[in-house]
Every structure is written in structure tokens, then in C-alpha cells.
Amino acid sequence: MNKLVKILILLPLLMFGFSSLNAALTIEITEGTEGALPIAVVPFDTSKVASKLSADIAQIVSNDLNRSGVLTVLSRKSLPAKPHYSSQVEYPAWRTAEQDYLVIGRVLEKTPGQYEIQFQLLDVLKQKQIIGYSLQSSKRKLRASAHKISDLIYERITGVRGAFNTRIAYIRAQQNKGRKYVLQVADTDGFNTQTVLESDEPLMSPSWSPDGQSLAYVSFENRRPEIFIQHLTTAKRIKISGFKGVNSAPSWSPNGDFLALVLSKDGDPDIYLMHIETKRLTRLTRHRGIDTEPVWSSNGQSIIFTSDRGGSPQIYEVSAKGGKPRRITFEGRYNAAPSVSPDGKYIALVYGSEGQYKIAQLERDTGNLIMLTNSSLDESPSFSPNGKMVLYASTRGDNSVLYAVSVDGRGKHKLSDQSGDIREPAWGPYNLKQ
Amino acid sequence: MMLLNARSKILFLCVTAVLISACQTGSDEIIEDSTAIDGVEQSQLEGSEVSTDTSGTAADLTVLEDGSDNSAIAFDDEAQSKADSPQVMLDKADSDIANRVIYFQYDSAKISEDSLSTIEAHGNFIASNKNVSARLEGHSDERGSREYNIALGDRRAQSVRRVLLFQGASSDQLETISYGEERPVMTSHTDDSWSKNRRVELVYEVN
């Protein structure tokens, strides 16, 4: 008995241990950055670092800023100079190069493997520093530090908090070598991939805990759908729901205490709330027909979900205390898979019309529905924690890939994996540990 | 002797025809009901009405044959003893339970007229072989949202289950599961492959 428990605990740990072997996802900016602000990022000075750094900080920052759709980074070839200190900057050259902003920096090695990264964001027109920071980092944290620099630059220029230093979860489905489903997390630029779980049976619907430390997901590993919660660093996991019938679509409450989920144990698929600690269930909807895909409103007061009670799938809202659901989408025959923006003002969803399934954004105040994509097989939208991007899955040719589109339609990039489909993305929360 | 046998056969056929037509009208109602909003009606249908119907006809059959000739019973017994084991019946390529896949329309869990007789044949088979159990695996095509498709696959499996129960299968012989769009049989993005992916598969186990 004890041995079995040990093996069960060890198994996910082992899988977790292999994670560093996973290749990064391929990232590609697919749509232009018209109207984006010009910024130059000079390679950081690493002359005082003994061994070669494992990450090119300036390159990571450049890629981040380019992906935002808000900024466009000058190519390295076109840099008129390579200053590392503000005293070395000759502003007229940067003005001639038509740059609004300039980023310079250097990496110092405090002790072997421990670094201090200093950077400055300069205003080319005003010829002065906008911000300057010094970050402590280590070999393992270099990429995270680079994303943090991107966040600081982005926030200063746009006034909106950056979401580069966050993580995404998704399902990778291998097509060759037999069926294989992998739940992974990665940085927002596709690097640093980490396998959470591997299975021969389907894995679905990852949902982040609000502290970013755990994932809830659906696994068919016992030849039926069950919901598990797994801690990402300890790999400790528990089965939270394994009732007869459907157990699916887990969604973590903003305060972390509850999961909204879908069970069909009492008949048709309905929405339930489960208190995670006590596993106590409250049934929220009671309806002949499909109720599924619950997500929490940003204040945790209500649940937004998909239901076909009106004849075709539409989005509804019901108080988390129960009561009568209210329909909130009216345009089109097919609206499903809601994702609520962090400020609660928008709902991203799958909009189906004339055989095309696109990602659209519903403005709650006006009821206006705005198309964010223009393809035919899009699904699983998920807002970035700053509400500026929507990550979704799209089928292109034989493969399913991820796209992130900015909500103003200005930028779009693709995340793909050569070895299979990637789908069901879930953008994680801000990293609270920093 | 031959004559009597033939007569009893005709009688038997008539009774079966009545039984089938009764079942069909009954299950039509059930399917209609699966789209209705009231849950109470459905559970009533599933329970009492069905079982009394079938047992009533079965009793009629015995009375009729008893009254006509003893050899009729002998014939029945003979047929029974010759009946294949469930596994043999499942392995037959040309039987009415050889088809184990039921197809559905887009975003629908309604059973088509064509599929009904297939499901009824399975229902009769399960009802008369208490040592078999069936796993009803619901699937959808890839379009739309994944979780909605899980729910849709579940509804499809439930629709098939209702007909099987109606035919006399017992609920502990049946298990439903939905895979949604996770396990397509065809992977191209065409109407043809979508129509083949919208299905319920009956997977048998002989205990």
C-alpha cells in the first residue's frame, strides 16, 4: 500500500523531471503592426560576464515587444550604434533612424551564475531617461527576467500592465507514434515548456488556479472523464470529481476556493460549484439540455456559461448563488466557450455562422459583437491577464496551432509545434511570487 | 404436423409484427420527448409503460400458442436451445446487430428514423442476454467548442441509451461516455468526415 502511494507520487514527479527536454514552441508574427510605436533595443553588454549567457536578453525583449502589436522593434542590422550606458547615447542618430524609444542595458555577474541586469528606457525626442531598473537574476531565471523587463517597458509606454512574464497551459496531441496527449505549460513566447501530464487517453480543459500554482483539468486516463487538480511544482495531484457520466469544464473561482464544473450525474450536463477543500457540491443549473463551459465573472459573483436551452448554443449568466440564468448573446446561431476579460467588460467566445467558427468579442455594455478572427475552425479563446490579447486554437491544414490576437486587432502571432496539434490554450494569471 | 408448424410460425410472426410496431410508436414518443423541457415526463416513459407493454405482449404470445398447439411451444424451445451464444451473435457479420455505429445530424442528439431499427435490434439483444453489457461512446465532429461537444456526445449517448432501456435493456447493462471531438474516425475537415464523426459507438462486453 505504502509502496503504491509512493509510486503514484513519484510518477508525476518523474514526468515533471523530463520537462526540460521539451522543445520550445515555434513562434511567428503573422499580422503586421501598423501604427505601432518604433523602439530600438540594443544588445545588452555582457563583456563582464565570464561564460556566455544562455539567453540573449535584448532579443527576448525585442520579440516580446514586437508580439504586442503596440510596438515595433528596429532590426539589429539597422541599429545606428550600440551604446550600453546613457552617457554613450547620441540622440540625433536615433532620431534620424525614426525611433521614439531606445532600450540599453548590461549584465553584471555578481557571483558565478548570479547576475544583475541593468536597463534603461530612453525617450529619443526628449533626450532623457524614462525608467531605469536593476534586476537580480540567475542562470535559470534569465528568460523570466527578460520578460519582466518587457513588462516594465510595455507598462511605461502603454499605461497597461505587461503580461509577458506569465505562462500558458495547453494540450499537445501527438499524431504519429500512436495517440498521445500531453498537458504542458510554457512561457508566453513558447519557451521553457514543461510537461505536466502525459496520457494515451484524452486530456482536456486546463484551468489555472488564481495563484498560478496549480491546474485543474479533465483526464480520460481511467477510460472516462474525471477532473484532477495538480500542483505544478510539487506535481501533487488529486482527483476532485469522478461521478457517473460527464465530469468536465473545470473553472477556478477568483478567490481560489471553488471550482465551477459540469456534471451529468443527475441527468443532462449541468453546472455545479464545488468547494475544493470539502468537495461539497452545489447545483447551479437544472435544465433538460446542455449547460457547459462555466467561467467566473471577474468579481466572482456570477457564472457565465454555454447552454442550448434556447435551441442553439448561446451564452448565459447566472448568479453564483443560483437563480434564473439570463441570456447575454443574441447575434448568430452559435455562441460558445466564453472567456471573461479581467475587467469584466468583454467576453471572448466562439461565434459560429454559415459553417465558419471564429473568435469574437462581446462588449457587455453595448452588446456589440466584434470579430477578432477571420478563419473557419477557431476555438478555445482565453484572455491574457491584462486583457489586451486573446489566445485561441485554430485548425490550419492538418494541424491545430495557437494564435494570440490583440483585442484591437493590431497584432497577431502564431505558436506551433512541429510534432503535433496544440490546442485548448489557457493563459495563466500574473505571477504573484514576484 | 408440418401444417401446424407453419400456422404457428405465422402466428408468431404476426405477434412479432405487433410488438415491433408498438415499440416503434412508443420510442417515437421518447425521441420527441428528448427535446422537450420537462424532465418528469421522460422518467415516467422510461419506467412503467415500457415494461408493462412488452410483458403484456409476451404473455399474449404464450396464451395464443398454448391454445393452438403444443408443438408450437416445442418449436420455440427448439429455437431457444439452438440460439447462438451472445459472443457468437456479436461476431456474426450479417446479423441485425452487426452495425454498432449510430450517426447524427449536426448539433443534434435526435435519433433518425433509419437508426431506430438498428438501436431496437441492439436493445432486444441486450434485453435477452443479461450477461452482456454495452458501453455507449458518444462523439461529435470537430466544429465549435470542445466542451460543448463533450456535452453533445453525452446527449447522443443518452438518446441511444433511452431506446435501449425502452427495449428492455436494464440500466446496469449500459454505460455512457462522451469523448466529444477528441476521437474522430476521420480527420479531414470535410462534410463527409464530419458526418462520420458525429456518432455513438456501441462497444459490447460479454461477462
Q: Which CATH architecture has domain B87-206?
A: 2-Layer Sandwich (3.30)
Angle subtended by helix axes A57-67 and A142-158, to nearest 10: 40
What is the count of residue pairs from A and B with beta carbons less than 8 Å apart?
A: 101
Q: What is the pLDDT, as a whole number, of residue B64? A: 39
The pLDDT assigned to B102 comes to: 98
The answer to whether residue A42 scores a pLDDT higher than 90 is yes
Which of B37, B41, B146, B185 to mutate to test binding with chain A, by most A CBs within 10 Å of its CB? B146
The pLDDT value given to residue A239: 97
> How far A259 CA lies from chain B's nearest CA (Å)?
16
CB count in 10 Å sphere of residue B51: 13
Whether the predicted pLDDT of A287 surpasses 90 = no
B10-50, pLDDT tens digit by residue? 444 433 444 444 444 333 333 333 333 333 333 333 333 33
C-alpha cell at A206: 486546463
State residue A240 phi and psi, 5-degree precision. -100, -25
pLDDT at B63: 39
Reported as a pLDDT band with limits 50, 70 and 90, residue B68 is very low
* pLDDT of the residue at A148: 97
Instruction: Place A177 in a pLDDT band, splitting at 50, 70 and 90.
Output: low
B147–A306 C-beta distance less than 8 A: yes
Q: Is the pLDDT of residue A218 over 90?
A: yes
pTM of the model: 0.83
Residue of chain B with shortest Cα separation from A217: B147
Reported as a single tens digit per residue, the pLDDT across A66-87 is 999 899 999 999 999 999 999 9
Q: Give, rounded to a whole angstrom, the gap between the first and last alpha carbons of chain B.
A: 40
Residue A409's pLDDT is 77
Q: Is the dihedral of CA A349, A351, A356, A359 positive or negative?
A: negative
Confidence of residue A183 (pLDDT cuts 50, 70, 90): very high
Check if A195 contacts B (Cβ < 8 Å): no
Angle, vertex CA A285, rays to CA A280 and CA A289, nearest 5: 130
| Grid coordinates given for A170 | 495547453
Q: Does B3 touch chain A (CB under 8 A)?
A: no
Amino acid code (one letter) for B150: I
Of A202, A292, A398, the CB nearest to B147: A292
Residue B83: pLDDT band (50, 70, 90) is low
Question: Hey, which bits of A124-210 come out as E strands?
Answer: 128-138, 167-174, 180-187, 194-199, 203-208
Secondary structure class of A153 (helix, strand, coil): helix
Mean pLDDT of all residues in B130-150: 96
Put simply, whether A339 touches B (Cβ < 8 Å) is no
**B39 and A CB contact within 8 Å:** yes
B182 lies within 8 A of chain A by CB? yes
The three-state secondary structure class of A183 is strand
Angle, helices B50-68/B2-34, rounded to nearest 10 degrees:
170
In this model, does residue A126 exceed pLDDT 80? Answer: yes
Confidence category of residue A396, pLDDT binned at 50, 70, 90: confident
Task: Give the nearest partner residue to B145 out of A269, A309, A337, using CB atoms.
Answer: A337
Candidate from A264, A379, A398 with C-beta closest to B145 = A379
Q: Is A217 exposed, middle or buried (0-12, 13-18, 19+ CB in 10 A)?
A: buried
Judged by a CB distance cut-off of 8 A, whether residue B171 touches chain A is no
User: B94 with B24: CB under 8 angstroms?
Assistant: no
Q: Which three cell numbers stand for residue B198?
A: 458525429
In A5-52, at which residue ranges do the beta strands (DSSP E only) sit?
Answer: 26-31, 37-41
What distance, in Å, lies between the first and last C-alpha atoms of chain A?
Answer: 40
pLDDT at residue A342 tops 50: yes
Cα–Cα nearest to A403, from A415, A411, A421, A395: A415
The more confidently predicted of residues A258 and A34 is A258
Nearest residue on chain B to A269, judged by CA atoms?
A: B151
What pLDDT does A293 receive?
98
Question: Which of A220, A285, A292 is the best substitution to test chain B (most B C-beta atoms within 10 A)?
Answer: A292
* The pLDDT of residue A97 is above 70: yes
pLDDT over 60 at A394, yes or no? yes
The residue whose grid cell reads 535584448 is A58
The CATH fold of domain A167-427? Neuraminidase (2.120.10)
Do B142 and A246 count as a contact with CB atoms less than 8 A apart? no
pLDDT of residue B50: 34
Residue A22's pLDDT is 56
What is the mean pLDDT of the segment spanning B114-129? 96
Dist CA A337 CA A378 (whole Å): 11
What DSSP letter does each residue of A399-429 carry, written as one string?
EEEEEEEETTSS-EEEEE-TTEEEEEEEE--
A295-303 mean pLDDT: 97
pLDDT for A419 = 76
Average pLDDT over chain A, rounded to whole? 91
Pairing, β A101-111 against β A37-41: parallel
Backbone φ/ψ region at A57: left (φ over 0), alpha (ψ -120 to 50), beta: alpha
What is the overall mean pLDDT for chain B?
Answer: 73
In the chain, the amino acid numbered A332 is G
CA A131 to each of CA A13, A102, A137, A148, A395: distance values in angstroms, whole numbers, following the listed order: 41, 11, 19, 14, 42
Beta-strand (E) ranges in A175-310? Answer: 180-187, 194-199, 203-208, 214-219, 226-231, 237-241, 247-252, 258-263, 270-275, 280-283, 291-296, 302-307
What CATH code is assigned to A34-158? 3.40.50.10070
- What confidence tier does A185 reach under pLDDT thresholds 50, 70, 90? very high
Distance from C-alpha of A171 to C-alpha of A424, rounded to nearest angstrom: 6
Taking the domains of chain A in order of start, what are their residue ranges? 34-158, 167-427
**Are the Cβ atoms of B147 and A352 closer than 8 angstroms?**
no
Identity of the residue numbered A330: F
The percent of residues in chain A predicted with pLDDT above 90, rounded, is 80
Task: Please give the full DSSP string across A69-88, using - where no structure is assigned.
Answer: SSEEEPPGGG-S---SSGGG
Q: Identity (one letter) of the amino acid at B76?
A: D
Write down the pLDDT at residue A32: 62
10 Å Cβ neighbour count for B186?
A: 14
Cα separation, B143 vs B90, whole angstroms: 33
Residue of higher predicted confidence among A144 and A420: A144
Exposure of A137 by Cβ count < 10 A (0-12 exposed, 13-18 middle, 19+ buried)? buried
pLDDT digits (tens, 9 = 90+) for A220-262: 999 999 999 999 999 999 999 999 999 999 999 999 999 999 9
